[in-house]
């Protein structure tokens, strides 16, 4: 049995067909979660934390319905530092990146900031 290559040009109408006629893309909550975590990880002031005995940061949860996203995000932020400004910048960056990458509307984003002491790794939680 031989397998032949398949291309969009092989379909009736070929690549000239409009995108909405060729199919659709379904973005799941799991995929959106990974996008949120990746965007938070790259944000200035963000502190990544992981381990067997501690909860890792950043950690996101997302629900996707009808092309809209409701999400919550736990992030670590180095202390001492401009916590409020870092949290606002981080939320804006995550919202922009999620919209840009997924094409979905981020309706709600709740951010919980966990303060991570730069010196010894101690943690305080601010919500």
SS3 of 87, please? helix
Backbone torsions φ then ψ of 103, nearest 5 degrees: 75, 10
Per domain, the residue ranges of the chain are: 26-126
- Which stretches of the chain are assigned E, i.e. beta strand? 46-47, 59-65, 68-79, 105-117, 123-126
Q: The pTM is what?
A: 0.71
CA separation for the pair 56, 77 (Å, rounded) = 12
The fold adopted by the segment(s) 26-126 is: Alpha-Beta Plaits (3.30.70)
Q: CB of 102 within 8 A of CB of 117?
A: no
pLDDT digits (tens, 9 = 90+) for 39-93: 999 888 888 776 655 568 899 999 999 989 999 999 988 888 888 899 999 999 9
Give the three-class secondary structure for 84: helix
């Amino acid at each position: 049995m031989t397998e032949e290559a398949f291309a969009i040009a092989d379909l009736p109408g070929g690549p000239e067909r409009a995108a909405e006629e060729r199919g659709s893309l379904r973005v799941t909550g799991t995929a959106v979660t990974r996008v949120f975590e990746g965007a938070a990880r790259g944000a200035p002031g963000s502190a990544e934390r992981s381990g067997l005995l501690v909860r890792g940061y950043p950690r996101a949860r997302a629900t996707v319905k009808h092309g809209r996203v409701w999400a919550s995000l736990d992030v670590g932020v180095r202390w001492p530092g401009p916590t409020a400004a870092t949290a606002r910048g981080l939320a804006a960056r995550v919202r922009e990146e999620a919209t840009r990458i997924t094409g979905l509307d981020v309706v709600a984003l709740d951010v919980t900031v966990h303060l991570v002491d730069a010196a010894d790794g101690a943690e305080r939680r601010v919500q």
